[in-house]
Structure 1
Amino acid sequence: MTVWNARACAATAALAVLAGCASPSDGAAQQATLPSPFPVAQEGPCCGPVTPAGQHLAQILDASDVEHLWQNERHVDWQTGEPDMPADWKGRDAETHCSAFAAAMSVRLSVYLLRPPEHRLGLLANAQGEWLDSAAGRRAGWQPVSSLEQVQALANQGWFVVGVYINPDRHRPGHIVVVRPSSKTDAYLQVHGPQVAEASYHNHVSWSARGSFAADHYADVKYYAHAVPQNQANP
């Protein structure tokens, strides 16, 4: 068995630990163990193969139709991204929808991420970032990920991984993205960051993390990972 196949098997086994969705009332969730840091390939894809669970994650993101839904300046149903108010409706909840999109993807993968009704849509990305970094986020099964290589490798293995920037001005929005599988090289990863899907001023189903965040915010982006329940990882 190759090193990468061994890692893939270990990660797939870890996915089996979580069999359901954690919610605020569920108490402490059983936490899957992050796989050991992945060996980085210096040539070719940096961060391991895209496993069947990773392919399923990519299919969920591709099927979201995020490039046409969760549109900027429209009030939307946060779970579907469909407009649910007249086009001339104005308000903070009709600005960008990064946090609503991330929350909707969490629902589709049976992973709890802070979302309505526990928090309103306005300024939700800041609240999600604070929650992910809190004891409540840990109890729900989220774990911080420090290296870009492991961020990309976990997404390739089918983990639900998000990158979030918390705006220090809590009256202004932060930003959150969902990491998607990719076969990029390490050189490309170091320059452009992990591959992500996002709702923003311009929505992208596949984009670079560096392109998703303002230049002066990118260094402050933090990543968190959650194992996807076995019935979702291997449908």
Structure 2
Amino acid sequence: MNRRLFLLLASCMLPVGAYAEDAVPGARVAPAPANDTRTDGAACCGPVTEDGEHLRRFLDDSGVDHLWLPDYRVDWRTGAALEMSRPGSGPHTHCSAFAGSAAMRLGVYLLRPPEHGQTLLANAQVRWLDTPEAAASGWRALPDAFAAQTQANRGALVVAAVENPDPRRAGHVALVRPGPIAGDALRRSGPMVTMAGAHNALAVSLAEGFRTHHGAWLPGGGGSAGFHAHEVDWRAVLA
């Protein structure tokens, strides 16, 4: 068999979804679908890239574990406490202020003061993310938690958010963390997130972080929490 015929036959035998250059060791492999639903304990959602590591360090260094604290009025940009909250004086938790501040520091616009006050800002952010304005700003909706984890692992800013069905009560917003995670763990508890709230956390599962919002995360995956992603220019951020 001549060499040209051999190579042609070999390329036809590649598995569906693989590139021809996969026959060469170390060559690029077609990525798994973002909504990979494996439950065999294998890691999902692609490797954490260099930009993903930048995002992980950014979230770890955000200070949300000791800033944007509940029951204080805070400077939304820095999370610094201004004074204890008084009944009726404004929001007592600051998930949306933290998300807005983090996005600002990454060069990304997410609805924030002064365009909207801190009171009920999370609900407003959820609605805004589905507007043409948000799409024109670079935000895109993601289909599920697997897509959200994949994008975070690539270094994109990924917001997990739920609107409260009671317009007089706050929704919730968190930022998806990059990291290795098994498919079954992701389906069970959702991605790990960084958030402010009644209890601020550098790393907590979405199921735990959103547990006071009934139906935000359902066992086995899904729920009312939605995901949106925005690319980050890490060269500009780190310059």
- TM-score category (smaller protein): 0.7 to 0.9
Q: Aligned partners of 1:234 and 1:149: how far apart in 2?
A: 27
Amino acid at match of 1:62: D
Is the Cα–Cα contact under 8 Å of residues 53 and 233 in structure 1 kept in the other structure? no
Once the two structures are aligned, what percentage of the paired residues are identical? 38
Q: Aligned partners of 1:39 and 1:190: how far apart in 2?
A: 10
1:220 to 205, 220, 224: 224
Q: Aligned partners of 1:46 and 1:232: how far apart in 2?
A: 29
After superposition, where does 1:191-210 map in structure 2 within 5 Å? 191-210=188-207
Amino acid at match of 1:114: L
Q: Aligned partners of 1:179 and 1:232: how far apart in 2?
A: 21
Distance 1:98 1:122, change over 3 A: same
SS at match of 1:183: coil
Q: Aligned partners of 1:182 and 1:68: how far apart in 2?
A: 23
1:184 Cα deviation (Å)?
1.0
Partner of 2:140: 143
User: TM-score, structure 1 length as denominator?
Assistant: 0.81
Is the Cα–Cα contact under 8 Å of residues 76 and 94 in structure 1 kept in the other structure? no
1:173 Cα deviation (Å)?
0.5
Q: Aligned partners of 1:2 and 1:191: how far apart in 2?
A: 33
Partner of 1:155: 152
Q: Gapped runs of 5+ residues in structure 1?
A: 8-34
Q: Aligned partners of 2:205 and 2:27: how far apart in 1?
A: 29
Is the Cα–Cα contact under 8 Å of residues 38 and 153 in structure 1 kept in the other structure? no
Listed one character per residue, the Cα deviations across residues 29-50 of structure 1 (whole Å, up to 9, x for unaligned) are: xxxxxx9737677553211111
Partner of 1:10: none
SS at match of 1:205: strand
User: TM-score, structure 2 length as denominator?
Assistant: 0.79
SS at match of 1:217: coil
Q: Aligned partners of 2:143 and 2:77: how far apart in 1?
A: 29
**Number of aligned pairs?**
206
Q: Gapped runs of 5+ residues in structure 2?
A: 1-25, 218-222
Partner of 1:100: 97
**Greater relative contact order structure (CA < 8 Å, 6+ sep):** 1
